[in-house]
Amino acid sequence: MAAKGMVAVPRRAVARWRAAMALLGLGLGISVAGLGWDFIVHEILDEVQESIYAPPHLTIFAGIGVAGLGFLVALLGTRFRAAALPA
């Protein structure tokens, strides 16, 4: 029996939330790795690689895309499930 004020959450909702948070964390990690790589290329190796298609920049953009997908999963999972909950 749940304590007063507690809310029961379905296991599928928790699994969806964990997947969304995993995607957000993975996207953040990929972006940080790309930013580190970009810093090394520009500041330490002193190479001028100013193209949007440079590998470090593509890594940053890929991380942003993965994080955006995680945000979308979280948003869709909460938007459509909130309407089904009893008042």
At 32-53, the pLDDT tens digits run 999 999 999 988 888 876 889 9
pTM of structure:
0.76
Tell me whether residue 3 is in a domain: no
Tell me whether residue 78 is in a domain: yes
Q: What is d(CA 76, CA 82) in angstroms, rounded to the nearest whole number? A: 10
Tell me whether residue 87 is in a domain: no
pLDDT at residue 3 is higher than 90: no
Q: What per-residue confidence (pLDDT) applies to 85?
A: 54
Tell me whether residue 42 is in a domain: yes
* Owning domain of residue 55: 13-82
Tell me whether residue 6 is in a domain: no
User: Of the ranges 9-13, 58-62, 70-74, which is most confident?
Assistant: 58-62
Tell me whether residue 40 is in a domain: yes
